[in-house]
Structure 1
Amino acid sequence: MADKREEKKKKKKERTPGTFAQMKQVYQMTKKSDPKIGWVLSLAALGTLLVFILIGVALGNWITFLILGLGAAAVVAMLILSRRAEAAAFSQIEGQPGRSGAAMNSVRRGWQVEEQPVAANRNQDMVFRALGRPGIVLVTEGPHSRVNALVSTEKKHLNRVAPGVPVHVIETGHDEGQVELKDVVKTMNKLPKALTQQEVQAVGGRLKTLNHMRNPMNGLPKGIDPMRARPDRRAMRGR
């Protein structure tokens, strides 16, 4: 009996949290960097509900619209929480080494994203790489004056193994011409498609060969683990 109880406890711990538990976790995470989130959600939900009630009163069927309004208010609150949670997740990794790679890893289907930086230096500047139908995308982290040399070197390597494949560079940061972390994925997805799916697979094989020929972590300062900067994807999607 004792073994069965222990097994039941273990299964409970391993269970995936339910929808409400997940939403609670997302809310708590968001509130740490966005203390007003409670008021924002409440006002948005009440405002949505009020609009539906007014429409119902005008049409002489306020009970039906009250029920519809409750559902609409919940949806609006969840959408706002999702957006705020995403912003909170990025604000929490701001300034951490590996933040650009973390932003890239929130991309969904259609991309092959390298988990580790393909180039780095002692100043903690890094270059991350992704491959998709637009071609190869290099996302940098650090001042332009310093990452420019890393990008140039990486482009030379890429030209040897994948000549003719478009290489796009996205610099992250807050300066002019740079892209905010929250906009990295959006910028990647807006790039024009240049390769077929079959060509992407072929280029992916060449890039794997390049990875085997060198250690992508060479030059990375000791004590830096870019994987620790990865945001909670579930939280960013508001699940």
Structure 2
Amino acid sequence: MSNTPLDPSTMSRRRQILETYKMSRDVDPAIRWWMLGAFLVAGGLGFALFHWVLPGSGTFKLVLTIIGTFLIGLLAVMIVFGRRAQKAAFARLDGQPGAAARALTMLRRGWVIEEVVGFTKQQDMVHRVVGPPGIVLVGEGNPGRLKALMASEHKKHERVAGDYPVHDVLVGKEDGQVPLDKLVRHVQKLGRQVKPAEITELRQRLRALDAQRPKVPLPRGPVPTSMKGMRGNLRGR
């Protein structure tokens, strides 16, 4: 069996969900029971609701009640599946080189992610996100080595950013760091300090800086149908 990561763009919607479920189950075996429990609880509440709210009686009411019960149960299943699949995906990524870059693909439109704008031989990395907060430098790896690397990248970006803000974020579980599963939300909460039209100008300023650095391929690992693919699944698309 090939260990090549699956590309969600080559799979049908049903196949994407199935592959996401399989990989989530490997990390979280209880996911099936959570989904079943969600269906039974939500379905039971839905049945009671439709039974008392719908007027009349007979076969027509029973059919509507069954359909409504199934749809409410299915909605609950998808909500539970999405949350636990996301948690399992982060658990699967945690500790892998480039995990932060994979997590950042969960950001919505309006964000531009550049992988590995800075690095060390020991695979400590700095990724860059350009969006409403301005420039966000995201470091992952050994905190001691990252300190000098982040400081160097911060100075480089400040020189070309001008008045646009530059934020530093370290990914990890120690004090002052941001856990991988909370990275996206943390970046989104940095505020809106740059207008959409200004993001284009900011990216143009960064091109000169990027032209001076070598491109480094990001290590690829067995990521669940890629975080981008799973992002679409969790949104119901």
TM-score by length of 1: 0.82
**Equivalent residue number for residue 138 of structure 1:** 137
RMSD, aligned CA: 2.2
What secondary structure is seen at the aligned counterpart in 2 of 1:95? coil
Task: Give, in whole Å, the separation in 2 of the partners of 1:79 and 1:155.
Answer: 39
TM-score by length of 2: 0.83
Unaligned runs of 5+ in 1: 1-14, 218-223
**Equivalent residue number for residue 230 of structure 2:** 235
What secondary structure is seen at the aligned counterpart in 1 of 2:107? coil
Task: Give, in whole Å, the separation in 1 of the partners of 2:96 and 2:46.
Answer: 44
**Equivalent residue number for residue 127 of structure 1:** 126
Unaligned runs of 5+ in 2: 1-8, 56-60
Identity rate, percent: 32
- 2:105 matches 1:110: no
The code of the aligned residue for 1:194 comes to Q
**Equivalent residue number for residue 209 of structure 2:** 210
Task: Give, in whole Å, the separation in 1 of the partners of 2:150 and 2:11.
Answer: 42
What secondary structure is seen at the aligned counterpart in 2 of 1:118? strand
CA shift at 1:68, angstroms? 1.0
Alpha-carbon contact 1:137-1:170 (below 8 Å) kept:
yes
Task: Give, in whole Å, the separation in 2 of the partners of 1:33 and 1:97.
Answer: 19
**Equivalent residue number for residue 185 of structure 2:** 186
The code of the aligned residue for 1:82 comes to G
- 2:219 matches 1:226: yes
**Equivalent residue number for residue 170 of structure 1:** 169
Task: Give, in whole Å, the separation in 1 of the partners of 2:182 and 2:212.
Answer: 32
Task: Give, in whole Å, the separation in 2 of the partners of 1:60 and 1:192.
Answer: 46
What secondary structure is seen at the aligned counterpart in 2 of 1:117? strand
Task: Give, in whole Å, the separation in 1 of the partners of 2:161 and 2:101.
Answer: 22
CA pair 205-228 structure 1, distance change in 2 beyond 3 A:
farther
**Equivalent residue number for residue 81 of structure 1:** 81
CA shift at 1:126, angstroms? 1.1
Task: Give, in whole Å, the separation in 1 of the partners of 2:194 and 2:155.
Answer: 20
The code of the aligned residue for 2:31 comes to I
